[in-house]
Amino acid sequence: MMLLHTCAKGIVAMITIEGIAKIVGVSHSTVSRALSGSSLVNETTRGRILQVAEQYGYKPNRIAQSLARKSTMTLGLVVPEVLNPYYPELIDHFVRQAKEASYTTVLSLSGVNQEDEEKCLEHLYGQRVDGIAIVAGVHGLLAREAALRLWRNGTPIVVLGWAEGIDELDAVYGEDAKGAAMMTRHLIGLGHRRIVMVAPDCDFVPRDRCYGFNAALAAAGLDTENALISGVNTIDKLNRVLDKLLDQRERPTALFAYQDILAAHILQHLHERGVAMPQDLAVVGFDNLGLSSYVVPSLTTVDQRLQERTRGALRLLFRRIGQQSASNDPEHVVIRPEIVVRQSCGASNRISPSY
């Protein structure tokens, strides 16, 4: 059987497996085996089948194939939003790496406050994706119970980023507290003693960046009481905080931004205030997003190694999908942070990742 459809360039012939079998004079199963590369078909017959398939523009029926192998070759990816440049960079790594393995990614946005996280999981499950990666947001993993239900029912799920209560799920996350402590020690090593971290809502659990920052200050015998300013969730509030710091008699000599995007706004406001960076004030960030190389001065930051995170998440998903995991116990992959030294901190040389 041969189907025809029209397009802008004229009439294009499309043929089915049944049509190829009729032309070549073989069975439907022989054509199917030949197209899938089976060694059960002799080379002469395979050559004739492939020639006819190419001549008539054969396109495999992906839906039928997915039903036959019980796989859709698609993965779900849940992220809160895409305005924060962290998420688009993560999405790009995930999609490209999945594509290398012939998987398509279905993206689902749970909302800035992750209010639709559970709905996203239900939607992706309904789409029959082979596995789901959930990016933990500022509120952790709100749909933890829904994720656990799917996990226990056999749906491969991995959490990207650390969150409370993910011990029973596969997860990939970084050592944020360690990265923050590394950066704080770096600033102390450059001679800074009045260091302030500016952050949105943060948590003082042992894995959080604020925790690592405070711990490093305390270990160096420096004041921690006024070193952290949190709750900075808008540009207006950030500008007011910066103005207040700049107007102090003893202003800080270094600012540690909780995120690179926050650091970029800090650099802009300080430039508008006529502050020379890093001569008058050093600025560092956390994430190592693409923008960190392009802001002026270029940003010293903690590299979260996003590409390694997404690659680790996909490896865990593929192991579950292929049932290659040695056990059903959840696996956690911890990505070690690194410091990338650029112009904004005033250091002239790059330090070792093991600093």
pLDDT at 36: 66
The answer to which of 2-6, 270-274, 350-354 has the lowest mean pLDDT is 2-6
**Amino acid, single-letter form, for residue 67:** L
Contact between residue 268 and residue 255 where contact means Cβ atoms under 8 Å apart: no
Torsion, Cα of 216, 218, 220, 222 (10° steps)? 120
pLDDT at 328: 77
| Range list of H helices, the chain | 17-24, 28-35, 43-55, 62-69, 86-100, 117-126, 144-152, 176-189, 209-219, 235-246, 260-272, 306-321
82 DSSP assignment = S
Is the pLDDT confidence value at 327 over 70? Answer: no
Q: Is 173 left (phi over 0), alpha (psi -120 to 50) or beta?
A: beta
Contacts of 218 (CB under 8 A, 6+ apart): 224
pLDDT in tens, 37-50: 666 778 888 888 88
pLDDT at 38: 62
Average pLDDT over residues 47-70: 69
Q: Higher model confidence: residue 6 or residue 196?
A: 196
Contact between residue 170 and residue 330 where contact means Cβ atoms under 8 Å apart: yes
The answer to which of 22-26, 30-34, 236-240, 285-289 has the lowest mean pLDDT is 30-34
Is the pLDDT confidence value at 337 over 90? Answer: yes
Q: Higher model confidence: residue 34 or residue 224?
A: 224
pLDDT at 307: 96
Model confidence, pTM: 0.78
Average pLDDT over residues 34-63: 76
Q: Higher model confidence: residue 347 or residue 334?
A: 334
Q: Higher model confidence: residue 221 or residue 11?
A: 221
Average pLDDT over residues 164-174: 94
Percent of the chain with pLDDT strictly greater than 70? 88
Do strands 10-15 and 2-7 pair parallel, antiparallel, or not at all (unpaired)? antiparallel
Average pLDDT over residues 293-298: 96
Is the pLDDT confidence value at 1 over 80? Answer: no
User: 237, 197, 238: which is closest to 216 by C-alpha?
Assistant: 197
Measure the CA–CA gap between 293 and 150, rounded to whole angstroms: 40
Give Rg (Cα) of the chain.
Answer: 27
Contact between residue 297 and residue 342 where contact means Cβ atoms under 8 Å apart: yes
Identify the band that residue 111 occupies on the pLDDT scale cut at 50, 70 and 90.
very high
Is the pLDDT confidence value at 35 over 90? Answer: no
Tokens of 260: 């690179």
Contact between residue 271 and residue 300 where contact means Cβ atoms under 8 Å apart: no
pLDDT at 353: 40
pLDDT at 219: 97
Identify the band that residue 8 occupies on the pLDDT scale cut at 50, 70 and 90.
very low
Would the CA dihedral through 105, 109, 115, 120 be positive or negative? negative
Percent of the chain with pLDDT strictly greater than 90? 69
Question: Which helix H or strand E contains 198, and what residues bound it?
Answer: strand 195-198
Identify the band that residue 340 occupies on the pLDDT scale cut at 50, 70 and 90.
very high
Domains of the chain (ranges; CATH) run 2-60 (1.10.260.40), 70-174+306-335 (3.40.50.2300), 176-304+339-345 (3.40.50.2300)
Measure the CA–CA gap between 308 and 306, rounded to whole angstroms: 5
Q: Please give the mean pLDDT across all residues of the chain.
A: 87
Is the pLDDT confidence value at 3 over 60? Answer: no
Residue 193, classified by CB atoms within 10 Å of its CB into exposed (0-12), middle (13-18) or buried (19+), is middle
